[in-house]
Amino acid sequence: MKKFLSLLLSIALALSFTANVSFNAFAASSGTCGTNGDNVLWSLSDNGTMTISKGSSGEARMADFVNNGQSRPAWYDSRGSITRLVIEEGVVNIGAYAFDHCYNLTEIDFGTIDTIGNNAFMNCTSLTSVSLPSSFNWMYPSVFEGCSALTSAYLGERWWTEGNVPDYFFKNCTSLRVVRMGSKFTGFGTGVFDGCSGMKVIISDNSSLSYSGITVAPTSVLGGTCSDNTYSQTNLTYSLDIFSFTLSFSGSGDMNSTPWSSAKDIIDTISFAQTDAKTSISTSAFGGYTSLRNADFTNIYSVGWGAFGDCSNLGSISFGSLLTDVWGWAFSACTSIVEIRFAEGSGDLHIHDHAFNGCSGTTYWIDLPANTKYIDDHAFWGTNFNYNTIYSTDCTIGADAFVDGTGGDARFSDLTALSLQRLTG
């Protein structure tokens, strides 16, 4: 009898598994989702793209849903297959709870919607960025609540009415760092950024906005001019991309202002790769930018005093052949720099006092090119290079230039015309 019952149980389990497989394999991949049925259509392709489109009649308004067994959208059981969402032109809204727990969704094209219902994208844990269209106007609470991978959001300009960001809109978006919003956003509902431990900057031209613990920066941080046109036909200009956290420069000239500074906590990378002639970095330009990890120094000929001081997460750096001056304390206390590379140039290279003071993460070796003319007092104080090669035979080296690191007795080569006493104290 026990064997018979065991056999029946095994058959029942097998049938249950088969039923589940059949259900998922033949789950609907298209249908209607409008307030009037076929006024809005949906389809899910094999590549994971969900498309919401205008139907055959009436205003293309999507229905609202509820996260329970009776009122979920038809695609709920296939939500793990959705990686991209496209809202086609003409669809006017996204319904409440429409894409709740679509945990593999990474990309959204919002089309021309004007409204997003409450909890529409709650717990979409793979979504990293969102940008709402200029047609957008109405929003409801908790739209992106629990989107733990979301780092950047642009909420649009609100084309019609003024209003607050609704309650709990970004609650528990633990990776969120920056939100840009139009000036018609006048305030914040309850708990908009609750649990957003990494949230640093709100970008808006509404000067009356405030939120405890978060910097409100004007839109001028996003782009403009930061020098005259000293060396080319164009000024040195900058552009901040809030989705890649990159501050890029183009044109050329001597940097004379830092209009992006109030957004410093979201700048991970700076790049001068698009500059077209020699360019300088001004005094203290990026000092204390603790989120900065990468820097491209294309066309840089001068790095100002304290320009990168205390950038404690800045990684290894490499300079081009135009470099002539690294001024005092330029990279002091950049403790994550492991490697420093200099290219040989035609002009004299001058590394000023304490330029790399306290770069204690440095290891193994540094090569200083043949055009190195001056290494001032304490220039590499507290660095940890074990091997130092100076290819110049006409270089003036200041007192204790390489002293007080933990690299032991630094070794030097090609120093027949130089004094080791000046190097090691």
- Report the candidate in 323, 306, 309, 238 with the shortest Cα–Cα distance to residue 274: 238
Rounded Cα gap, residues 265 and 285, in angstroms: 14
Q: How many helices (H) and strands (E) does the chain have?
A: 2, 30
Q: Is 261 helix (H, G, I), strand (E, B) or coil?
A: helix
Q: In this predicted model, what pLDDT tens digit does every residue of 208-224 receive, in sequence order?
A: 999 999 999 999 999 99
Q: Is the pLDDT of residue 83 over 70?
A: yes
Q: Which residue do the tokens 């840009």 mark? A: 180
Rounded Cα gap, residues 362 and 129, in angstroms: 35
Q: How confident is the model at residue 27 (pLDDT cuts 50, 70, 90)?
A: low
Buried b or exposed e, range 2-14, using 16+ CB within 10 angstroms: eeeeeeeeeeeee
Q: In this predicted model, what pLDDT tens digit does every residue of 322-357 receive, in sequence order?
A: 999 999 999 999 999 999 999 999 999 999 999 999
Under DSSP, the state recorded for 103 is T
How many beta carbons lie within 10 A of that of residue 155, not counting itself?
21
What is the average per-residue pLDDT within 370-393?
A: 89
Q: Is 11 helix (H, G, I), strand (E, B) or coil?
A: helix
Q: How many CA atoms lie within 13 A of 172 on its CB side?
A: 11
Q: Is 263 helix (H, G, I), strand (E, B) or coil?
A: helix
Q: What is the structure's pLDDT at 420?
A: 42
Rounded Cα gap, residues 17 and 310, in angstroms: 59
pTM here is 0.87
Rounded Cα gap, residues 116 and 166, in angstroms: 11
Question: Using an 8 Å Cβ cutoff, are 334 and 312 in contact?
Answer: yes
Q: Is 5 helix (H, G, I), strand (E, B) or coil?
A: helix
Under DSSP, the state recorded for 211 is B
Q: How many CA atoms lie within 13 A of 327 on its CB side?
A: 16
Question: Using an 8 Å Cβ cutoff, are 75 and 81 in contact?
Answer: no
Q: Where are the domains of the chain?
A: 28-218, 220-424
Mean of the per-residue pLDDT values of the chain: 88
What are the angstrom distances between the C-alpha of 212 and each of 171, 192, 202, 244, 299? 15, 11, 11, 25, 40
Q: Is the pLDDT of residue 387 over 80?
A: no
Q: Is the pLDDT of residue 86 over 90?
A: yes
Alpha carbon 75 to its chain's center: 32
Residues of the chain with pLDDT > 70: what percent? 88
CATH architecture of 28-218: Alpha-Beta Horseshoe (3.80)
Question: Using an 8 Å Cβ cutoff, are 203 and 222 in contact?
Answer: yes
What is the average per-residue pLDDT within 77-100?
A: 97
Q: How confident is the model at residue 405 (pLDDT cuts 50, 70, 90)?
A: low
Question: Using an 8 Å Cβ cutoff, are 164 and 138 in contact?
Answer: no
Q: How confident is the model at residue 67 (pLDDT cuts 50, 70, 90)?
A: confident
Least confident of 27-31, 77-81, 191-195, 313-317: 27-31
Q: What is the structure's pLDDT at 159?
A: 61
Q: In this predicted model, what pLDDT tens digit does every residue of 98-124 receive, in sequence order?
A: 999 999 999 999 999 999 999 999 999
